[in-house]
Structure 1
Amino acid sequence: MAKPKIAIIITSTRDVRFGEKPAKWIYETASQREDMEFELVDLRDFPLPFFNEKASNAWVPTENEVGQRWQKKVAKFDGYIFIVAEYNRSITAVLKNALDYSYKEWNRKPAAAVGYGSVGGARAVEHLRNIAVELQMVPTRPGVHIQGADFFAVWQQGKDIKELTHLEPGVKTMLDDLAWWAAALKTARETA
């Protein structure tokens, strides 16, 4: 069996976003593993208009060209790590919109999350997990939460995110769980 391919998705498109830092950190850490392949995926590269299709692509093909390109990108992966900013106790609008543009492409694949913000993006990650269930993804229990002092030290005070070594055990646990689910679900999808 080929290694599962995992997308690390940067889910904020703001000019002054923080998400690139944890995305690159997770990518560098994860890429040292032998059991999965990783690719950074940036929602900036997919300027999706607000969802205005006739229906979900579960029922009707998407007409929007960027939406079609996004669906092809999502489909090529066996699992996802979402880098999740918390905006007003939820996920970003661009992430919700991107999730809505695909359906079958997400099905039966694991979804892990790295949250950041004042409470480590915990409320946004929880919201994402609920959406993931509706899209027939398998949200992993372990996640990584960059919160409070750590978040502000990296964001505003110039601390290198790699100095947050106390988060490394959580990253390993998240990646181990993601690897198990990605392999199990890939095998199940290929034999169904």
Structure 2
Amino acid sequence: MKYIWINPVTESMYDPEILSAFLQKNGYETVTVSTDWSNMVKEKYQAAVASASLPVVDTRCPKILGLLKKIGIPSSVTIPEIEPILIHCGREISQREDLRGTEKIITTPCKALADMGNALCLPETTFLPWNEFLCITGGTLAAVPPKKSPIPPGFFEGMGFSCRSITGEKEIRELFQNHAVETDLLELLFCKDGCHNGDGITGCDD
């Protein structure tokens, strides 16, 4: 038996019973995490904001750091060393004693997250974009991409500090090129309107 963790973006695209049957047919059993990594990451950002004298940049999306390096990271912001929620989930699953000695797949909604995870070289654990997983298994599933992002802007709402949310490459570039950043935290997502249309969820022939 091989084990697989399905990311929330992919999970939102399918009927749970159909997805489960497809995975079982291909020899995979789904696994979940026991830690609330979403809340843990929120706490890490809250601590970062509390200790920073400059606006903190949300780097849950690995493409954000790459974009900022391209346009030149401004000296007027703080870049925290906080891993994305998905990476925390992958670390937990890779360290589970009950799964030792077995293959573990962590599905991702984009190649950037897969590359980031695989660079860690976690034991018996592979981070794989969902569309690549479908290509490897040779499977097809009737997907219904969500009209609204399952991971939309607003992750940091109600946390007691000011936050400005910007999505989309063009909008993020314009933010740093044309405006002074005046907020406690900048929530930045490379995909427009949230994490739902990354290059890891489109068809393998797209």
Same fold (TM over 0.5): no
Q: Which one has the largest radius of gyration?
A: 2
Higher helix share: 1
Structure with bigger RCO (C-alpha 8 Å, 6+ apart): 2
Q: What TM-score, normalized by structure 2, do the two folds share? A: 0.34
Q: What TM-score, normalized by structure 1, do the two folds share? A: 0.36
